[in-house]
């Protein structure tokens, strides 16, 4: 999974090939002239209108986006594509192509799993706590996570930046075998943490970089202790409500709010519906979120611009000290300890790639990306589902990359 210049982490197997975060770092995402915007009553995209497709988009940028999206859907043999593009918070175009299920057209207002987008929201909330003086990023976590090995050396910053040295349970063969055999299993944090804690740390905390889902699981548990509230309440009060993300929510069960965009996958060898596979393995209870394409675009814009943060905190979001980390050692191979460069690195809950601020969840038949280019105020949100012959990997990334080529040719979004 190597692509210059973006660092990437190895894909363990088709079943979780980009599992949640984005995994991506693993790989290290004009106002329309339609009669009315599809979502939001003001220039910032907030308001009470439904998430619907743009009526008769006439703006040249809108036509470019739709042409690219239609062709990509055919090229990749996708079941559905949902897309929304905004500039400075104003709609360029919103649309949905293909089907949710046979005979059921995909609609922009359908809800889908958003996976690691929650990490960007958690990181934003953490930086708000730092601004308020309630914690410091370099506080060690032993007071909140006393049973975690090396808790007196691991800081909140290390959890949020993937510099703890903990193994990633999503690449553990034993975990993968269990997940494939029992996709409806409900996982607890202790179930999940048992996998990375059965291995020695890759390196001493804070001295290198390697992606692990365990980090945001642990960070969520720590934040619950710090604030005395569930991580779902934490995100809702600090991010979702202030941004007007009324269709973004946590689900403690595999339920998806109606209308749901259905997903299908061949991860287990047979093409099958995976909409209601249990997503509890992806992160901490309370942070297992669903959203729609309009909220995803709003999230891209707000997180990517640091709307809820001070200028200092926004700079930390984009580079919390990860640039320059990541190197192979005697105990950590180059496929795990990936080099973090100015051009492509993990920030605080986001990926920063050639100036774009990105999150890109992909698991259990769902793929999505939120990408924001601050220099142009350009937000791209894409969600995809697959047919039996669609390629592996995050196909939403491919579409976002092609859109970026048209709208921001000088700033390529390259994740694949």
Query: What span, in angstroms and rounded, lies between the C-alpha atoms of 343 and 318?
Result: 11
Tokens (6 digits) for 200: 């020695």
The more confidently predicted of residues 41 and 109 is 109
Tokens (6 digits) for 311: 């200028």
Beta strands in 65-135 (DSSP E): 78-87, 90-101, 104-105, 112-113
Number of H helices, E strands in the chain: 11, 15
What's the pLDDT band for 1 if we cut at 50, 70, 90? very low
What's the pLDDT band for 412 if we cut at 50, 70, 90? confident
The more confidently predicted of residues 73 and 18 is 73
Percent of the chain with pLDDT over 90: 86
So what's the pLDDT on residue 333?
97
Residues 41-67: pLDDT tens digits? Answer: 333 344 446 999 998 877 899 999 999
Q: Which candidate, 22, 29, 73, 81, places its Cα nearest to that of 299?
A: 29
CA-atom Rg of the chain in angstroms: 20
How far is residue 232 from each of residues 184, 223, 277, measured CA to CA in Å?
A: 22, 11, 20
How large is the average pLDDT for residues 381-394?
Answer: 97
Q: Please check the confidence at residue 380 and state whether its pLDDT lies above 60.
A: yes
Q: Which candidate, 100, 87, 304, 281, places its Cα nearest to that of 183?
A: 281
Residue 296, preceding bond cis, omega within 30 degrees? Answer: no
Query: What span, in angstroms and rounded, lies between the C-alpha atoms of 416 and 323?
Result: 20
The more confidently predicted of residues 325 and 12 is 325
So what's the pLDDT on residue 16?
41
Q: Please check the confidence at residue 284 and state whether its pLDDT lies above 50.
A: yes
Mean pLDDT of the chain: 90
So what's the pLDDT on residue 49?
66
Task: Assess contact for 84 and 69: CB atoms under 8 A.
Answer: no
Tokens (6 digits) for 260: 């749901």
Task: Assess contact for 373 and 410: CB atoms under 8 A.
Answer: no
Q: Please check the confidence at residue 21 and state whether its pLDDT lies above 70.
A: no
Beta-carbon neighbour count of residue 150 at 10 Å? Answer: 16
For the chain, the 3-state helix, strand and coil shares in percent, each to the nearest 5, are 30, 20, 50
The model's pTM: 0.90
How far is residue 371 from each of residues 152, 239, 304, 314, measured CA to CA in Å?
A: 35, 17, 8, 16
How large is the average pLDDT for residues 67-91?
Answer: 98
The residues that bridge with 384 in the sheet, in sequence order, are 81, 367
Q: Please check the confidence at residue 36 and state whether its pLDDT lies above 60.
A: no
Task: Assess contact for 121 and 299: CB atoms under 8 A.
Answer: yes
Q: Which candidate, 336, 365, 361, places its Cα nearest to that of 117?
A: 361
Q: Please check the confidence at residue 9 and state whether its pLDDT lies above 50.
A: no
């Amino acid at each position: 999974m190597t692509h210059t210049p973006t660092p990437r982490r190895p894909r363990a197997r088709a079943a979780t090939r980009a599992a949640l975060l984005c995994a991506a770092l693993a790989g290290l995402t004009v106002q329309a002239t339609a009669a009315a915007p599809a979502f939001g009553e003001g220039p910032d995209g907030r308001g009470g209108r439904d998430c619907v497709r743009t009526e008769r988009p006439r703006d040249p940028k809108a036509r470019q986006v739709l042409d690219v999206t239609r062709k990509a859907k055919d090229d990749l043999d996708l079941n559905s594509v949902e897309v929304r593009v905004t500039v400075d918070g104003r709609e360029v175009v919103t649309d949905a192509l293909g089907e949710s299920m046979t005979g059921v057209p995909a609609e922009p207002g359908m809800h889908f799993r958003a996976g690691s987008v929650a990490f960007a929201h958690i990181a934003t909330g953490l930086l708000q706590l730092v601004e308020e003086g309630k914690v410091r990023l370099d506080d060690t976590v032993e007071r909140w996570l006393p049973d975690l090995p090396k808790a007196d050396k691991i800081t909140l910053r290390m959890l949020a930046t993937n510099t703890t040295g903990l193994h990633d349970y999503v690449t553990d063969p034993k975990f993968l075998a269990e997940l494939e055999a029992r996709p409806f299993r409900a996982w607890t944090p202790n179930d999940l943490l048992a996998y990375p804690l059965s291995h020695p740390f890759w390196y001493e905390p804070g001295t290198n970089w390697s992606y692990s889902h365990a980090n945001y699981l642990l960070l969520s548990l720590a934040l619950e202790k710090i604030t005395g509230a569930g991580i779902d309440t934490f995100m809702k009060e600090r991010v979702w409500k202030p941004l007007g993300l009324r269709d973004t929510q946590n689900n403690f069960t595999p339920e998806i709010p109606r209308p749901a965009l259905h997903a299908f996958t061949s991860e287990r060898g047979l093409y099958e519906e995976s909409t209601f596979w249990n997503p509890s393995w992806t992160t901490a209870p309370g942070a297992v979120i669903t959203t729609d394409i309009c909220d995803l675009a709003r999230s891209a814009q707000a997180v990517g611009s640091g709307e809820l943060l001070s200028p200092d905190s926004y700079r930390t979001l984009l580079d919390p000290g990860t640039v320059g980390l990541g190197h192979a050692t005697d105990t950590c191979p180059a496929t795990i300890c990936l080099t973090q460069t100015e051009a492509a690195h993990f920030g605080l809950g986001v990926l920063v790639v050639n100036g774009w601020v990105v999150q890109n969840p992909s698991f259990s038949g769902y793929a999505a990306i939120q990408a924001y280019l601050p220099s142009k105020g350009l937000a791209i949100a894409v969600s995809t589902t697959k047919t039996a012959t669609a390629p592996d990997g995050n196909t939403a990334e491919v579409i976002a990359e092609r859109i970026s080529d048209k709208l921001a040719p000088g700033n390529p979004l390259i994740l694949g």
